[in-house]
Structure 1
């Protein structure tokens, strides 16, 4: 375990440059004291780790020195082949490059590891696109990706639900969620998220990106999802649901699923459980919950219950039902 951690320290310092003891310890999930002992062990083994003192100090490898580790374990080679997704690679314009790299890696692996790696790609396929939906057309993705890699600014024409506007964006990263590509970038010193299928035009500019210090794409994305859900669900509804209704509610959204899972769900005499779920609006909740009837009944708020009753009446009238 420790030997693996020592190799990880070398790889981190080689790929990221100077890192503080606290940053390294957090990355490796060890204490700062343990990290210092590991650094001493590396130095004793002849690895030239340089310690810079001061506020902006940290550890780095001697300039020009790098490891020559080339061996991959069987599990590591499987993980490399598992990470390659054909659809995203093609959308990024990297399909040929990914295939070339895959062949080179296969050629470099020992025979046993080569068989293990090929077994993964032949027996496990990852499809990032959600059910009942084709991959979104993203004609601007290649240009945007190039700007991300080169750290150059972008001039985009973005179509939101409100309007279409021109923006100058400093791109920080790309996110693929459920088959949908997003660009994370800075506009007027504020990180923003753009759905790439809504970018009508994109032009890479010569100006370089001023990347915020300590910006972490994964951390930003998690926080943005949490913020989106807080802003999206502004109200609550109280429901009575049968066991089948509770199961159906769990598929409405992740926020509703969490609310259902957190409720006590003690059934009443009629076998139904009372649950409270977050909702976006009366109109949106009407469409979501009406299709779950009669397994789910709304008991509050009253405007939502009235909206569903009115919708049922309109449907009955449409189909020529005089009483219902």
Structure 2
């Protein structure tokens, strides 16, 4: 059997640098695996989009690993950790060329990632797998009891290494090739229901200075206010300076991001938000990043307001994008209800896995 070697990923200064081959390979292998596992090609990322966050590790540390066999790059892995001193978890991903599964590449990468996580003092490791919208003879049910996913080679690897499927997320898409009548109707009704206590505030990155602190606050609530099953989610500190770094990384990656938020008029606080983003190819798929209504302001249809307001705004910003893709936990029925009412339909699924490290 050919020897498998694992080396640390070199994060290049530029994508045309001589040392950028490993980074390009990691992105390409990850995209091929995502398409094979999910059965769709909507979830690809570009090296241009990814490099800025790998170069700026102020808030999160990203470590990469490259698997070699017979002189060829055949797999990659990453480990992402929050830099906050109180953080205890790590997120990782394993990517292997389909022809090389089963010869030890995936196991070698997994063992390397877990060893580094332990060395960093992490007590749990999490990973996300992609799955098709179709079923097969082996369906996996998460600990939450909500949803199920079809087994894949990657999910088999995690199961064999004592990872637990904690949560299932639904990937939904909304075609943008027709009128947005449903979104217009839902926005009018939700705005009337919420009343004068709330108003919509929208912007395209970079975030205006007077909104940065409020935007930081609602982003930070994603760690505490979004359903996550028993996944160990570390709270992360967000402030105005981190928003500036976030915005710069998005722009440096050639991406365009629109935010629709709801402001609580009497307090001036942002209490809900929705993000839509597209890459440098403005004819590509639009992705929804964060969507949240803070717990103390739920029940006012603010989720419908931010989703629909941003969707209608997006038609002017990226008129040639064919569809929007979003992920939501299967147990997050209120948000799925909003999606379905607007016209989103299931396209694939994701599984959230966790292993407690001894």
TM above 0.5, yes or no, is no
Structure with greater contact order relative to length (CA < 8 Å, sep ≥ 6): 2
Higher CA-based Rg = 1
Provide TM-score, normalisation by structure 1.
Answer: 0.24
Provide TM-score, normalisation by structure 2.
Answer: 0.22
- Name whichever structure is richer in strand by fraction: 2
